Amino acid sequence: MRSRQTVFKRFLNVRLRKFRYSRGYTQERMAELLHISTRAYSDLERGKYSASALTLLFFMSELNEAEALALLSDFHKLMLSALSADES
Each domain of the chain, given as residue ranges in start order, spans 4-87
Q: How many Å is the Cα radius of gyration of the chain?
A: 13
Three-class DSSP category at 78: helix
First-residue to last-residue Cα distance in the chain: 11
**Contact assessment for residue 38 and residue 31, using Cβ atoms and an 8 Å cutoff:** yes
CATH T-level fold of 4-87: 434 Repressor (Amino-terminal Domain) (1.10.260)
C-alpha to C-alpha distance for 53 and 87, rounded to whole angstroms = 28
Phi, psi (deg, nearest 5) at residue 23: -95, -10
Q: What is the pLDDT of residues 22-78, one digit of tens each?
A: 999 999 999 999 999 999 999 999 989 889 999 999 999 999 999 999 999 999 999
The pLDDT of residue 8: 86
Residues 6+ apart with CB under 8 A from 73: none
pLDDT of 7 reads 84
